[in-house]
């Protein structure tokens, strides 16, 4: 499922609205996305089984755990690790913006 569907549901939730099929479709259309009715229905059904407030609080409070290295990293793996860390930082910044 595309993240735009999840973002639409989270936006509606943040505004205090229960994400319905119609509301999610309207948000997607307003964003220039042609909604897939089956995907929207699947998302609404899945959201009915979870507590979004609890899920959001767990996502924003998840601790970052560092794992000890067993051998000194090579120059190549240091570069790969740095690139991966930068991607993670960008992703976390994006998620942080979603949850205020």
CA atoms within 13 A on the CB side of 20: 5
Report the alpha-carbon distance of residue 55 to residue 23 in Å, rounded: 21
Report the alpha-carbon distance of residue 42 to residue 55 in Å, rounded: 18
pLDDT at 54: 87
pLDDT at 63: 63
- Higher pLDDT: 48 or 66? It is 48
Reduced to 3 states, what is the DSSP secondary structure of residue 63?
coil
User: pLDDT by residue (tens digit) across 3-39?
Assistant: 999 999 999 999 999 899 999 999 999 999 999 999 9
Tally of domains in the chain: 1
User: pLDDT by residue (tens digit) across 62-96?
Assistant: 566 666 666 665 666 777 877 777 777 666 665 55
Task: Write the CATH number for 30.
Answer: 1.10.10.1410
**Domain span at residue 14?**
3-98
The DSSP symbol for 61 reads S
Report the alpha-carbon distance of residue 87 to residue 67 in Å, rounded: 18
pLDDT at 35: 94
pTM of the model: 0.56
């Amino acid at each position: 499922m595309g993240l735009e569907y999840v973002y639409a549901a989270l936006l509606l939730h943040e505004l205090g609205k229960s994400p319905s099929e119609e509301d999610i479709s309207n948000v997607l259309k307003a964003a220039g996305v042609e909604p897939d009715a089956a995907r929207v229905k699947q998302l609404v059904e899945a959201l009915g089984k979870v507590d979004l407030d609890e899920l959001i609080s767990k996502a924003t409070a998840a601790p970052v755990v560092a794992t000890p290295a067993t051998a000194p990293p090579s120059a190549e793996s240091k570069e790969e690790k740095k690139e991966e860390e930068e991607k993670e930082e960008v992703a976390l910044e994006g998620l942080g913006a979603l949850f205020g």
